[in-house]
Amino acid sequence: MIQKMRGTLDILPEQTPAFAYIEKTAREICERYGYREIRTPTFEATELFSRGVGDTTDVVQKEMYTFPDKEGRSLTLRPEGTASVVRAMIEHGRCGGVMPEKLFYLINCFRYEAPQAGRSREFFQFGTETFGSPSPYTDATVIALANDVIRALGIRDVSLHLNSIGCPACRPNYRKALAEYFSRYKSELCETCRGRLETNPMRILDCKSPICGKIAAQAPKTLDYLCDDCRGHFETLKVSLSDLGIPFEIDTHLVRGLDYYTKTVFEFVCGGIGAQSTVCGGGRYDGLVRQLGGPDLPAAGFAMGITRLILAMEQAGAEIPQPKTPVLYIAPLGEEAAKKAIALTHGLRAAGIVAECDLMGRSLKSQMKYADKIGAAHTLILGSSELESGRGVLRRMADGEQREVDFSDAAALAKVLC
Ligand code: ATP
Ligand code: MG
């Protein structure tokens, strides 16, 4: 028996309506905000992610699916969406286009991680990227969009964590203070964090080990080291979010796992869905376009994990729209009737009616059981006398009410059923 690879998902018909509903909701809200969809390749040159996501991140160091292709080039299955969208912006000369450029995507991503509830090796993201605007009102708009999607899905018990991690002007001072602080605890830090002390001390704030977490709790705060520009940006963002009625809490140790963020970082965290509780992460990344070979172009965005959104929706008891059930099930008796049933079902479907008929050669009794199981609203039995007269009995399953109908013309019958 060949089985799916560990950490991948078969999304079965019972689960696809939740995915489809999230995608539909995301699309509708993006349209309202003037965001347009972008689709980029599933794999890219490895260098895009090592440069774009950052060499010192867990994603690049441990989590990427990287392999050589037949010509020996190093390729990587995308671990996230932003780097590819930025590459596409540069490659298609859109950085000099009409701004802001507002884009969204619905993608699968790949990360080699320990699979658990809310964490898989292939997973699905809804994300947005906004290019061209340095304004804190853009950050507020991006957060408002994410908030609207989460609320529209019926997710409750969710909080918005907000922080600013500064810019290239003020971050070196902060990094220095942080490195000084953590070097005092060098022997207590986990091995990975001891390495991070040299390469990127901010990553220690993101460490999941309890000991590092405890040490990090007393570490210097980014907010105490912001330059005037970053502080002003953060203040305006906070006021704007309050004006928009979006509650938030300042989380001074929120730094996010990817290297490209500047100024604003945020996460939506949902209670009660287990350890993987961050349903959405995002922020501003004013340096990324330049870092990937484009011009100076400010940008902000977020990504949501779709399976985590589903866990949060289930937790909140949110209703997930299900596919339409048949308006009519046609039960033929015998070969002649089966032929008529197929044609009639086809005609009803052409008229936009969800209709089914027997394809299993079942007895009448088991056909009725099946009709009940698939939730058919009505049934119509076709026997030899019905075939002769072109009239039959339409039975409403909910209460057994019966009425005679003419089924000789599918379009006319469709009107009766509407
Ligand atoms: P985490 O700290 O949970 O690993 P992250 O910071 O690595 O998250 P991002 O790169 O910001 O995650 O991705 C954005 C969102 O994508 C996350 O908030 C989460 O909802 C989702 N996500 C990330 N990794 C996975 C995964 N392996 N499986 C399922 N969803 C994921
Ligand atoms: Mg991660």
Can you give the CATH number for the domain in which 38 is found?
Answer: 3.30.930.10
220 part of a folded domain: no
pLDDT(258) > 80: no
80 part of a folded domain: yes
303 lines ligand 1 (CB under 6 A): yes
Let me know whether 377 and 230 are in one domain.
Answer: no
| Predicted local confidence at residue 20, as pLDDT | 98
Let me know whether 359 and 300 are in one domain.
Answer: no
Let me know whether 245 and 364 are in one domain.
Answer: no
3-state class of 398 per DSSP?
coil
46 part of a folded domain: yes
Question: Nearest 5 degrees, angle CA 43-CA 11-CA 354?
Answer: 120
pLDDT(177) > 80: yes
186 part of a folded domain: no
| Predicted local confidence at residue 57, as pLDDT | 87
Contact yes or no for 88/38 (Cβ under 8 A): yes
**pLDDT band per the 50, 70, 90 thresholds, residue 274:** confident
Let me know whether 306 and 333 are in one domain.
Answer: no
Question: Could you give the residue ranges of the DSSP H alpha helices within 222-272?
Answer: 228-243
Let me know whether 255 and 375 are in one domain.
Answer: no
Centre of ligand 1 from the C-alpha of residue 305, in Å: 6
308 lines ligand 1 (CB under 6 A): yes
Average of pLDDT values for 142-149?
98
279 lines ligand 1 (CB under 6 A): yes
144 part of a folded domain: yes
| Predicted local confidence at residue 36, as pLDDT | 98
Contact yes or no for 63/78 (Cβ under 8 A): no
Q: What is the pLDDT of residues 84-100, one digit of tens each?
A: 999 999 999 999 999 99
Q: What is the pLDDT of residues 48-80, one digit of tens each?
A: 999 999 888 889 999 999 999 999 999 999 999
335 part of a folded domain: yes
**Which residues is 75 bridged to in the sheet?**
45, 67
| Predicted local confidence at residue 55, as pLDDT | 87
Let me know whether 25 and 138 are in one domain.
Answer: yes
Crossing angle for the helix pair 171-183 and 191-199, to the nearest 10 degrees: 140
* CATH number where 356 lies: 3.40.50.800
195 part of a folded domain: no
| Closest listed residue to residue 33, CA positions, set 143, 108, 107 | 143
Burial 110-141 (b: 16+ CB within 10 A, else e): bbebeeeebbbbbbbbbbbbbbbbbbbebbbb
Q: What is the pLDDT of residues 353-395, one digit of tens each?
A: 999 999 999 999 999 999 999 999 999 999 999 999 999 999 9
**pLDDT band per the 50, 70, 90 thresholds, residue 220:** very high
Question: Relative to the alpha carbon of 208, which ligand is closest?
Answer: 1
Q: Which two tokens stand for residue 144?
A: 């408002």
pLDDT(259) > 80: no
DSSP 8-state assignment for residue 4: P
Let me know whether 335 and 379 are in one domain.
Answer: yes
DSSP 8-state assignment for residue 42: S
Structural domain for 334, as ranges:
328-417
3-state class of 246 per DSSP?
coil
Let me know whether 32 and 114 are in one domain.
Answer: yes
Let me know whether 251 and 397 are in one domain.
Answer: no
What predicted TM-score, i.e. pTM, was given to this entire model? 0.95
Burial of 168: CB neighbours in 10 Å, binned 0-12, 13-18, 19+:
exposed
Give the whole-angstrom CA distance, residue 145 versus residue 136: 14
Let me know whether 161 and 267 are in one domain.
Answer: yes
Range scoring the smallest mean pLDDT among 34-43, 50-59, 75-84, 109-118: 50-59
pLDDT(231) > 90: yes
82 lines ligand 1 (CB under 6 A): no
Give the whole-angstrom CA distance, residue 386 versus residue 365: 18
Number of domains in the chain: 2
Give the whole-angstrom CA distance, residue 341 versus residue 399: 24
Let me know whether 154 and 288 are in one domain.
Answer: yes
| Predicted local confidence at residue 384, as pLDDT | 95
Centre of ligand 2 from the C-alpha of residue 335, in Å: 59
Let me know whether 158 and 274 are in one domain.
Answer: yes
Domain finish residue from 281, 316, 351:
316
3-state class of 267 per DSSP?
strand
| Predicted local confidence at residue 208, as pLDDT | 84
Domain finish residue from 288, 316, 344:
316
206 part of a folded domain: no
Give the whole-angstrom CA distance, residue 250 versus residue 380: 62
Nearest CA to ligand 1 atom 29: 119
Domain finish residue from 316, 347, 368:
316
Ligand 1 nearest atom to the CA of residue 118, by list position = 29
Ligand 1 nearest atom to the CA of residue 278, by list position = 18
